[in-house]
Amino acid sequence: MPNHPVRQTALRRTATLASLTTAVATAFALGALPGHAAAAAPTAAAAPAATPKAPAIQAVASFSILGDMVRQVGGERVQVDVLVGPGADAHVYQPTPTQAKTVAKAQVLFSNGLGFEGWMARLLKSANYKGTHVVTSLGADVQETEDDDHDAKPGAKKAPGHDHKHDHGKSDPHAWQSVPNAIVYVKNITKGLCDADAAGCDSYQKNAAAYTEQLKTLDADVRAAWGAIPKAQRKVITSHDAFGYYAKAYEVTFLSPQGVSTESEASAKGVAKLVRQIKAENVKALFVETISNPRLIEQIGRETGVRSAGELFSDSLSKAGGSADSYVKMIRHNTTALTGAIQIKK
Ligand SMILES: [Zn+2]
């Protein structure tokens, strides 16, 4: 199949460890972060305190953002394999046979739900998966997609050419883009890990509490950053419609030529309409997303005279060592990029 990834690297289980170390240096108390030893299996009795333990359980996370959250809560007790790695697009993903084997061995699997992983049901079936499946968006504040009939402000985004071939109903799957929702994800992850590994529950709860504090600080910082910008100026263009939750939480308007899934192509009519809208509303900030083909957004930039203000991370983290290699760093990167672009052009 054309989309079939040759991407074994997505399975690296220690992919974000370097970034976690960096995150510790940024003054957040993260609790015990692993100095992970990959294959060593020390005998428990003889091991000195400083020797990293072998993971107690194996977990699978469907995509990189979720993988980071599971690692934050799981710490060194949990080996986390990520199916859709940094830079890859979960909307159009196709799992490999190797990944089916990884899934089959896991005790707990975390997905986003809300139709984001249209390939998940097939994968679980082919892997004959018997472990716990945690849908991490459960209980989050879920928004509907705005396809046709919304009568909110005309600046709100449309999704021209978007069609629902995947079974995601009308819910917008990108719920993690609001930090209060991420806190709900962390609750679900903690419960899932406790269910799969009762002996580690104290440790998971402790990690989750420290991480949740970090997320609350993050949320407050994002609100403060946007608070400095008048609401009328908070308008940006992105390639696909992934920021509905961020938009609502922080009162920003996002316009995009592509719908909530990258599966559908933007129509010429939709693009022309967006170009008119950008000119009429005097939108100043235009961004490409790292998972999307930049060509369309570049075309819109040429037609409107709005220059690209950089990259946003929507559905994937950056590779380890990049500016968005954890959830917290991703939200900070996006917020700095967005507010910076708008303030410069004021
Ligand atoms: Zn998306």
pLDDT digits (tens, 9 = 90+) for 107-148: 999 999 999 999 999 999 999 999 999 999 999 999 988 653
Q: Pick 57 or 242 by higher pLDDT.
A: 57
Mean of pLDDT values over 236-247: 87
Given a cut of 60, whether residue 40 has pLDDT beyond it is: no
Return the number of other C-beta atoms located less than 10 Å from residue 221's C-beta. Answer: 15
Cα–Cα dist 190/102, whole Å: 21
How many angstroms separate the alpha carbon of residue 217 from the centre of ligand 1? 25
**Two tokens, residue 15:** 């992919």
- % residues pLDDT > 70 (the chain): 75
How many angstroms separate the alpha carbon of residue 116 from the centre of ligand 1? 8
How many angstroms separate the alpha carbon of residue 315 from the centre of ligand 1? 5
Given a cut of 90, whether residue 32 has pLDDT beyond it is: no
* pLDDT value for 146: 63
pLDDT band at 52 (very low <50, low <70, confident <90, very high): low
How many angstroms separate the alpha carbon of residue 43 from the centre of ligand 1? 44
pLDDT in tens, 155-210: 333 333 333 333 445 899 999 999 999 999 999 999 999 999 999 999 999 999 99
| Phi, psi values for residue 258, rounded to 5° | -115, 150
Of 9-13, 178-182, 253-257, the range with the highest mean pLDDT is: 178-182
Domain 229-344 coded CATH 3.40.50.150: no
* pLDDT value for 295: 81
| CB-based burial, 140-179: b 16+ in 10 Å, e otherwise | bebbebbeeeeeeeeeebbbbbbebebebeebbbbbbbbb
Distances, alpha carbon 305 to alpha carbons 34, 207, 275, in Å = 48, 47, 10
Quickly list DSSP for 160-185.
TT----SS-TTB-S-GGGSHHHHHHH
pLDDT band at 33 (very low <50, low <70, confident <90, very high): very low
* pTM score, whole prediction: 0.76
Distance between alpha carbon 245 and the CA centroid of its chain, in Å? Answer: 12
Q: Which region among 151-155, 192-196, 268-272 has the lowest average model confidence (pLDDT)? A: 151-155
Residue type, 249: A
How many angstroms separate the alpha carbon of residue 311 from the centre of ligand 1? 15
How many angstroms separate the alpha carbon of residue 200 from the centre of ligand 1? 33
Q: Say which DSSP state 307 is in.
A: P
How many angstroms separate the alpha carbon of residue 184 from the centre of ligand 1? 19
* pLDDT value for 6: 34
Q: CATH 3.40.50.1980 spans which residues of the chain?
A: 8-217, 229-344
Given a cut of 60, whether residue 224 has pLDDT beyond it is: yes
- Whether 60 contacts 103, CB under 8 Å: yes
Pairing of strands 108-111, 308-312: unpaired
- Whether 293 contacts 268, CB under 8 Å: no
Mean of pLDDT values over 33-48: 40
How many angstroms separate the alpha carbon of residue 38 from the centre of ligand 1? 32
Phi-psi region of 75 (alpha: psi -120 to 50; beta: other; left: phi over 0): left
Cross-strand bridge partners of residue 235 = 253
Cα–Cα dist 178/277, whole Å: 26
CATH superfamily, domain 8-217, is Nitrogenase molybdenum iron protein domain (3.40.50.1980)
How many angstroms separate the alpha carbon of residue 107 from the centre of ligand 1? 27
Distance between alpha carbon 3 and the CA centroid of its chain, in Å? Answer: 21
* pLDDT value for 91: 87
Cα–Cα dist 267/251, whole Å: 27
